[in-house]
Chain A
Amino acid sequence: DSGVTQTPKHLITATGQRVTLRCSPRSGDLSVYWYQQSLDQGLQFLIQYYNGEERAKGNILERFSAQQFPDLHSELNLSSLELGDSALYFCASSSHERDTEAFFGQGTRLTVV
């Protein structure tokens, strides 16, 4: 158990809909990263938050947004969903220390039908 919790584990929704994925980081970790993993694109970095503030942005679509709340949990919002958004979405957390690895959740598998 990495200590990072993601909910839900599975999500099936229709095109055009909006969903919210939730992540609770490891206790004490201030930083949360979101990744999308699909068969054709591999592991893609989406966005990072540190202590409530956006720190880095990767290949995140404008239809997607995220935030980190005061209790440090994070949510990834995906709207106007398309079939191509079907993927595994991972959350990871890390501390500020350079020699500390990032810890990954088990992921949320999103299927858009």
Chain B
Amino acid sequence: AQSVTQLGSHVSVSEGALVLLRCNYSSSVPPYLFWYVQYPNQGLQLLLKYTSAATLVKGINGFEAEFKKSETSFHLTKPSAHMSDAAEYFCAVSEGFNKFYFGSGTKLNVKP
């Protein structure tokens, strides 16, 4: 069975600082991995996805994530946080055949 663990339910950074949101997964098959973002009072939207091409995946709004098989990790980073990045971020893994598993989410707070 799949599982996704997001370390840290709340992360706070200063504007301009590095953003690092952690995601670890367990998988019995090669994983397909996703990061979603949820802004207040909105649905979840896709930020980026890993589908076994390049291990470093670039997404929207300057975010990127690196797939590390040896660490079973897919951490999300952004070099310089912006106030508009304040949102909740969800890591997810797909096992295929319509099976998606989501982490519990990390709320990112950006301080001026």
A binding-site residues for B, Cβ under 8 Å: 2, 30-31, 33, 35, 42-43, 45, 48, 50, 55-56, 90, 92, 94-102, 104-107
Q: Which residues on the A side are within 8 Å of B95 (C-beta)?
A: 98
Interface residues on B, range: 20 to 34
Q: Are B43 and A104 in contact (CB under 8 A)?
A: yes
B49 at the A/B interface (Cβ < 8 Å)? yes
Number of A-B contacts (CB under 8 A): 62
Q: Are A98 and B32 in contact (CB under 8 A)?
A: yes
Q: Are A99 and B98 in contact (CB under 8 A)?
A: no
Q: Are B45 and A2 in contact (CB under 8 A)?
A: yes
Q: Which residues on the B side are within 8 Å of A106 (C-beta)?
A: 42-43
* Complex CA–CA separation, A102 to B105 (angstroms): 16
Q: Are B105 and A42 in contact (CB under 8 A)?
A: yes
Q: Are B43 and A43 in contact (CB under 8 A)?
A: no
